[in-house]
Amino acid sequence: MKMRLLAAAASLAAMFAAPALAADDGVAKIREAGVLKICHAEALPWAVKDVATGEWKGTDIYAAKSLAEALGVTAEHVDSTWQTLIPNLETGKCDIVMAPMFRTPERALRVLFSEPSGYETQAIGVRQDSGIKSYADLDQEGKSVAVISGTADETFAMRYFKNAKVVPIVTDKVSQVMIEVASGRVDGFLTDASTTRRGINENPTMSLEILEPTNPLNPQGYSYGIRKGEYDFLHFVNIWQTVIEANGTKAAWFAEFAE
């Protein structure tokens, strides 16, 4: 009787395990299709659309081509926004999100995250003549902070600011939230530190500066996103990342786009 029960339990376990194993076939499907579809959203130095050519450029564009070559397929870049990156991945419009997505618990409910592809902090830009000299100065009743709607910046700002009003802007361009500050409609804008620094340096006529530049906010890793259940593909991406780190390829990409 005991042997029959054990056999039945083993058969039941195999019945439930088989579909889970069969579903983890992302790598096989990509190789069969001959194409790796990659979702990007604009953020320098990782990825940005060249206004003259309409082509993507940036470190994650090089990374996408390298990953596709490692899989033996070609890369297909899929235009996305920060609001549509995860929905596009979930609905199969792309196989992977290659953008500097912060690894948040909210996002982890919907995607698998690779090992960090880099580390970043967040920063706040304000007008040079604002009189705002600290985070505490900004976090006051009557003050406001612009963020791009639907991003981890918005989630963090909602948690971090206790008194200032967080103003989500529906856009995929950091320049739009910078304009809100430069025009005086809001008191500050928040996004990742690299983008903040580059945006301010490239737009000197806006007369903006980084608030507390030696005291960056919210240090954390950012990662690529992969559909739930595709652990074989996740493993492949992590091994590929280890290789390009070790052989200096990744460092060369970032050197090209250094600020």
- Using one digit for the tens of pLDDT, what is the confidence trace for 73-92? 999 999 999 889 999 999 99
The pLDDT of residue 20 is 43
Same fold, 23-119+221-256 and 120-219: yes
SS3 112: strand
Exposure of 122 by Cβ count < 10 A (0-12 exposed, 13-18 middle, 19+ buried)? buried
Number of Cβ within 10 Å of residue 47's Cβ equals 25
Query: Is the alpha carbon torsion for 121, 125, 128, 133 positive or negative?
Result: negative
Superfamily of domain 120-219: Periplasmic binding protein-like II (3.40.190.10)
Q: What is the mean pLDDT of residues 157-168?
A: 97
Position 2 pLDDT exceeds 50: no
The pLDDT of residue 208 is 98
The token duo for 123 is 């920063």
List the domain boundaries for the chain: 23-119+221-256, 120-219
CATH class of 23-119+221-256: alpha beta
Residue among 157, 144, 152 nearest 183 (CA) = 144
The pLDDT of residue 78 is 96
